[in-house]
Structure 1
Amino acid sequence: MNVSTAPARVDLANAVAAVDVAVRFAETDLMGVVHHAAYVVWFEVGRVAWMSAAGMPYTEIAAGGHHFAVTGIQVAYRASSRFGDTVRILTRLAELRSRQVKFSYELRRVADNAVIATGVSDHICVDLEGRTGKIPPAIAARLWSGAAALAREQVSPVPSGAPTSS
């Protein structure tokens, strides 16, 4: 199953979940700037929030004997963030296939709406022993229906006309 075969033509671009995080001192480096490794952690925060908002909490996937193991991460750093900033993590389901799922991320500094990073993460479905396999149909169906529900909400966490940096 891939995006082109998604039921009822789900508009994945609008299936967004947003979560805000406060930059902690421990996430900064000697220069006072958020360390590059923190962005990958924030992607995970966004991914878990997206799944919960879509009605498929990650804890339920794990309780059902499956995980989505990370197979790849890409991050493009656009601007810096510092201790005390609030960062908004916007997460989208980018692709859902029979065994794989991909999420995309956009991180914005809340104070000025500047894009500070973008990225994607690739995952493969594994069982509790780490063997790859197909995403169970019930999980895939809930991810699709959750994406459709998020898209229908069309709640824009970024106000239209707000200043942006890209």
Structure 2
Amino acid sequence: MRTSMLCAAAALTACVAGIPAHAELGGAPTWAAASASQVTRLVQHVTLAEVPYTVNETTLNGGTVVREYLAQSGTVFAVVWHGPQMAPLNTLLGRYFSSYLQGASALHAAQHGGHGPVSVQQPGLVVQSGGHMGNFTGRAYLPGAFPQGISPDDLQ
């Protein structure tokens, strides 16, 4: 009950205060919700000891939901998306976008072209993306940036 109340209070605060809704992987939040059709809420993961991270959740104009996981320092360590349109990876991945493109290009070359799910796994970056028209999903994270006690399995 207490966690639900904290989440509701955080969500209301995020909507009213205009907390940035989008972030760049490895950086601080950088986008503010730009239009009334874009819905933003802040959800905090609460444990008994402390709050190890914050989740900014945004529904983009096209209906895609993006969740950005921020460490207590304010740095984004993971991004998860799902929805009818592909998430804007160039914005969400920021400075890691070129590494993602290189990894995806190498993967497609090894598969002799074509399209399909992408799983780029590099020492400092993991991007997994798949789906089909109208139903895209994926996640991107920095393996070394997870708060203590948190793993990729905790991303939803």
TM (norm. structure 1) is 0.29
The structure whose RCO (Cα within 8 Å, separation 6+) is larger is 1
